Amino acid sequence: MTRIEVFDPPMCCSTGVCGPSVDPLLAAFAADLQWLSDQGVEVVRHNLAQEPAAFVNHAQVHARLQDAGDACLPIVLVNDQIQWEGAYPRRDALARVAGLPVSTSRSKPVIALKDAGCCTPGSRCC
């Protein structure tokens, strides 16, 4: 089974899809990861602001951060090998590395605004 692991830059929410102004690229990426998961791909996502230990404990990610700083984020690994860094891949590229046929969703992603913590709508922290 394919495993895709994402190391995100620091964001106030685990996916960055929160608050009153959501980045449409992050929303699309979150929908693409959900699609992969629905297809049976193991998807794991880490946020530097919430899980710094994951970045330190992964040798390849830690080395890239030491070399390039957080400009290399996001880092996307496929089966524990860095596949992309510095930008989020699109669904077709993710499907290709997972060995899946490219499929587009006919529905728009549902974006839930967080109702607790810094991501409360109107909190102005995101």
10-residue mean pLDDT profile of the chain (126 residues): values are: 95 71 84 94 95 96 96 97 96 94 58 48 49
Query: Cα(49)–Cα(55) distance, rounded to whole angstroms?
Result: 10
Q: Quick one: pLDDT at residue 27?
A: 86
pTM, rounded to two decimals: 0.79
What pLDDT, on a 0 to 100 scale, did the predictor assign at position 13?
74
Strands of the 75-78 sheet, one edge to the other: 42-47, 3-8, 75-78, 81-85
For the domain made up of 3-102, give the CATH fold: Glutaredoxin (3.40.30)
Q: How far apart are CA 32 and CA 40, in angstroms?
A: 13
Instruction: Give the domain ranges of the chain.
Output: 3-102
Q: Is 124 left (phi over 0), alpha (psi -120 to 50) or beta?
A: left
Is the peptide bond preceding residue 52 cis, with omega within 30 degrees of 0? Answer: no
Q: How far is it, in rounded angstroms, from Cα 60 to Cα 65?
A: 9
Q: Report the pLDDT value the prediction gives residue 6, as an integer from 0 to 100.
A: 97
How far does CA 93 lie from the centroid of its chain?
Answer: 14
